[in-house]
Amino acid sequence: CPAPSALRTANGTRICAQLYADDSPYYDQCCAGDALVVDPGADVPYMPHGWAARISSLVVGTRCELTVWSRAGK
């Protein structure tokens, strides 16, 4: 998994969190597959299409907070 301080887009913009579709009990194989990027200040009451119950691992960037809910619509 990337270090929390290393979460950036290809052009260098800061990312607050990155959520991944694949996981593994082996640390070096975690944070794989499709990735969903959470921008600073994002408020997403519903998961994007195809992401519900799919996230297996995640990294939250430095000085960021990620709040999640177990039901749709917060």
The full set of domain ranges for the chain reads 1-69
Tell me the pLDDT tens digit for each residue of 12-31: 899 999 999 987 778 777 88
Can you give the pTM of this predicted structure?
Answer: 0.81
Instruction: Provide the pLDDT for residue 27.
Output: 78
Q: Is 61 exposed, middle or buried (0-12, 13-18, 19+ CB in 10 A)?
A: buried
CA 63-44-59 angle, 5° bins: 40
Instruction: Provide the pLDDT for residue 15.
Output: 93
Ranges of the chain with pLDDT below 50: none
